[in-house]
Homo-oligomer: A and B are copies of this chain.
């Protein structure tokens, strides 16, 4: 261990955790047991009035009263869902001005708004209103009045589910349109990572509510055995390997060294100091740090978002392990008193037949993915039909396309965004065309 380049190892491990989670991915934990290792590792929360030269996104903050349970009539308190809205560029109901609606995911919605420059940048030329609703149980959208109350136990957390979140969106859109006399205005959904899954599923489950969805880096197939459970770590590992085989090998070999060190007396203290864990210093690497309030994901991973993961002995640079549902279930029962429903998401949204359902009953969905992104291994990477298309970039990372444009963007990224704009325009054109035909009749 004495000869081991500690600083490099520390950096590499941090990188392996950090570098593939530019926006939301890290909170899509791989399994309840490993959840704590992957949560919320972000350097800083971007501000929507960023002093670093990022565009200033202007919005009003509003609140909407939601039913805690849309699918039962249990006598539960309502909660306030926060949403951000900008109507400055909206061409209005008479011109059927579109509504760009970002499906808020597992964190503070202001943070997603600040990191989804693409939506803000393309809204004005489309004459679109922009709405960023917050996902229930995240940010300020807390049932029972506060985070402490909402996260108190399994009973209060019970309604943190994907279907309830989609229903929140459906009700919010419907009421918002009614209030603005904008019933006829088309809604386009956006979302990245889990938000992308929500956008795609919303388009399938509520086709009467939105005309299309840009689902960026959305691992909708990451359930049961739909894709190989090794995908995630294999892709991370290959990313390292393609930059440097040496780097890949160094990391791969490091785990045994670390484990040996940990078995020595004072070994754990030594490792903690080496990796600057927070119990031991102040400028530290806090494994429990969660500035974006994404810790509801542990609950979601323990209930519906059961995504099998394993690390291959041969192809992964991470410690090898097999997927073990039983131990995950045990972890969830111990920590939350809740038993996962590992086959529910596939029952509700489609499993092996998902692509078939997409092809036959869906339309107007973009699945965008960058192949450097480990979550691309659980997403849709080929065109399903003429209007359900995959935009795949070889060098893209986790929903990079949703970020604000910069002068340094490579051509392929500029082209990817242009293709997305073109597709969204085609959905709107088609919608307006149909409306016009009805009007002419």
Contacts and interface: CB of A to CB of B under 8 A. Distances in A.
Interface string A149-181: 000001101110101100100110010000000
Given A208-B350, A208-B353, A352-B183, A73 B362 contact: no
Given A170-B348, A183-B352, A208-B356, A73 B363 contact: no
A207 B70 contact: no
Interface string A312-353: 000000000000000000000000011001011001111111
A99 B95 CA distance: 48
B72 A158 contact: yes
A69 interface: yes
A441 B16 CA distance: 40
Contacts of A208: 349-351, 353-354, 356-357
Contacts of A209: 347
Contact of A161 (B71, B164, B352, B361): B71
A115 interface: no
A353 to B, nearest CB: 4
A75 interface: yes
Nearest to A364: B360
A266 interface: no
A360 B212 CA distance: 12
Interface string A59-80: 0000000010111111100000
Given A167-B348, A347-B174, A357-B208, A74 B155 contact: yes
A70 B158 CA distance: 11
B72 A159 contact: yes
B155 A357 contact: no
A141 B170 CA distance: 31
A218 to B, nearest CB: 17
A205 interface: yes
A158 B73 contact: yes
B171 A347 contact: yes
B207 A161 contact: no
30 contacts: A67-B341, A69-B69, A69-B72, A70-B71, A70-B344, A70-B348, A71-B161, A71-B163, A72-B159, A72-B164, A73-B154, A73-B157, A73-B158, A73-B161, A73-B303, A73-B338, A74-B155, A74-B158, A75-B154, A75-B155, A75-B158, A170-B347, A170-B348, A205-B205, A207-B361, A208-B349, A208-B351, A209-B347, A361-B362, A361-B363
**Which 5 interchain pairs have the tightest Cβ spacing?**
A208-B350, A208-B357, A74-B158, A207-B361, A71-B71
